Structure 1
Amino acid sequence: MDMDDAVLLLIDFQQAFDGPPWPQRWNGDVDQNALAVLEAWRKADRPIIHVRHDSVETGSTLRAGEPGHAMRPGFTPLPGEQLVTKSVNSAFIGTDLDLRLRRLGAKTVITCGISTDMCVSTTIRTGANMGWSMVLVEDACDCFDLPDGQGGTIPARDLHRAHVTTLGFEFCGVTTTKALLQTL
């Protein structure tokens, strides 16, 4: 994996996901892993783009002004780090992310965030379809237990595994925090 043209894209590391109405998550190491990647990226002085979900839905915990809208501890952009705000699942839709990546001279987009099966997956799929070389840091992502529509629940770990498998098969490279840090 060539890191010379890579940009780190951190998706929706926001406080809302720590409580109701959001279901249970599985990856207790998501913040630790993503912060390790972020710290290494900063030390290497490589470009970083943060993505924040600015919901337009009434009552959303991700709406501007709600406590959950804030970034999780350690994920607030530092001076010089870019912030893209979105109101849909893909960070490419309705934003200037594509233009920002081009201006940075990027070819590869290293991605992690919450949640694997929604905003992370949708962003990776869109980016891949637009011609970006997408890479998922799978253990720096998390997702939620979800109802299966038949009275049961699909565990978050199973959803994560299925999405990582699908994304890796068709849309992106897949790596871990440890493997990524070794390439820096």
Structure 2
Amino acid sequence: MPDPQTALLLIDVQQAFDDHSAWGGARNHPQAEANIARLLQTFRESGPMVVHVRHASTTEGSPLAPDQPGYRVKPEAAERPGEPVIVKHVNSAFIGTSLHEQLQTMGIRSLVIVGATTDHCCSTTTRMAANLGYQVTFVDDATWTYDKRHPDGQVMDAELVHRVNVASLSGEFADIVMTDDLLAGIRAGGS
């Protein structure tokens, strides 16, 4: 059973990310949503807190704008009544939101982070969470990103972008785990 002071934080698991071309092309971890669903089920069954984060873009025409179909949550991460939903407008789920205050009120000291995208909102939120004193677990195969074009024109593969970002988080800002290992730890009684 996960520690009751731990929350699963689902970041931007929204339908806009189904349009790979809008985000740079190919993506890594096609199984990320399935892994998120497995983690979500386990956290719901075990009792710890689940917190959803949605990105509501203020950029006109953005697929993540609240009036666009892409704003909707993917079915694998559908919110349930009673689960807090934080709406953010920037990369960090802590900026301009009540996330930190809500977590403090609930007695949450540890976060398990999943979602999109590795190098933007997941990384930024992870770094800030660690700086705020949370113990952070970043689930490698329950996050994903897309190919990125460097200013010099070179396209960097999504898996490389993902791995470099995860390596930058490892140890300094978060413990890095895979879904199966985290679930095995929960079943064994750890968090």
TM-score, L = length of structure 1: 0.96
Aligned to 1:17: 17
* 1:8 correspondence with 2:8: yes
- 5+ residue gaps, structure 1, are none
2:23 aligned partner, one-letter code = W
- 5+ residue gaps, structure 2, are 187-191
Moved over 2 A (4+): none
1:17 aligned partner, one-letter code = F
Q: Distance in 1 between matches of 2:171 and 2:51?
A: 25
User: Tell me, what secondary structure is at the counterpart of 1:163?
Assistant: helix
Q: Deviations over 1:19-67 (max 9, x none)?
A: 1422221111011111110011111121000000000110100001101
Aligned to 1:164: 166
2:78 aligned partner, one-letter code = T
Deviation at 1:74, TM superposition (A): 2.4
Which of 39, 42, 46 is the matching residue for 1:40? 42
Which of 94, 97, 100 is the matching residue for 1:92? 94
Q: Distance in 2 between matches of 1:110 and 1:151?
A: 35
Q: Distance in 1 between matches of 2:48 and 2:178?
A: 18
Aligned to 2:122: 120
Deviation at 1:108, TM superposition (A): 0.4
- Identity percentage over the alignment? 37
Q: Distance in 2 between matches of 1:100 and 1:183?
A: 26
Aligned to 1:70: 72
The root-mean-square deviation of aligned C-alpha atoms, in Å, is 1.1
Deviation at 1:132, TM superposition (A): 1.1
Deviation at 1:93, TM superposition (A): 0.5
Deviation at 1:148, TM superposition (A): 1.2
User: Tell me, what secondary structure is at the counterpart of 1:170?
Assistant: coil
Contact 2:36/2:76 (<8 A) preserved = no
